[in-house]
Structure 1
Amino acid sequence: MLNKMIILLVEDNPDDEELTRIAFQESKLLNEVVVARDGAEALDYLLDPQGKGHALPNLILLDLKLPKVDGLEVLKRLREEQRTRLLPVVVLTTSKEESDMINSYNLGCNSYIRKPVVFTDFIDAVRQLGMYWLMLNEPPPAWSSN
């Protein structure tokens, strides 16, 4: 039996969260979506300081402009930890700042996508990234055995 793939959506905007869920549904990507609504919640989930023992996600969709801990700091902390170092992280943001893109790649993001403003474009972008990262991408063996 195949394990259900988990997507961690780190997003503080409820509208963008809902659009992402709709995009996955319309794309027939029925994976479990776990939502962290700020950077601190994402780090708690991923670094598991309370020892809850939940599975790591197969894909992280990370907004940059987050309350408590921003997305760049989340990315930095993930890449510092052995357990989360190789997790695929796609920065999905509205930021048009070149420095955000450069810093994201310097900190080890796997992809940087600007959120399209038009609904149909947003749906298409999420569908494509889901198809690639969850169906086509081959994760490293050490990561896939988490």
Structure 2
Amino acid sequence: MSQHYAGVSFDVGQNLDYNTRNSMRNVAIQSGVWNYVEPAYLTPTWVHFDDRQNPPACFNGGYPVVAFGSVGVYVLILQDALRAIGFTTTDIDGYFGPITQRTVINFQNSYGLVADGIVGCLTWETLTSNAAGIGQTATVAYP
């Protein structure tokens, strides 16, 4: 699963060496322009920084908490990732309604998470780690 963020984001430095990427990361942090710079252990072969419009669900970054009633790009990502790993939702419409909530609860139950229908840190981490690398399919919008 690709990472998609609301706001401005950049993935850079794929052809640079480790030290140069770390220098880029430090410049992005020190500039104060970006409110999130991905830690090196999450993006070891590139540098990701963005200007997120919502605080992340996890202390170390990532997507924001989404729940019933949420609308937007993060719900699209959620719905797309759920489909990628075989959990049927409504159309990928960006609206966290009752069907998406039920699908999230089913996902959480299947993976031994607290089944509260709220997509926070552990749910995002579990979901994205299982959806990573699946790529575009007939039911998945984002490669």
Superposition TM-score, scaled by structure 1 size: 0.29
Larger relative strand fraction: 1
**Larger radius of gyration between Structure 1 and Structure 2:** 2
Superposition TM-score, scaled by structure 2 size: 0.30
Larger relative helix fraction: 1
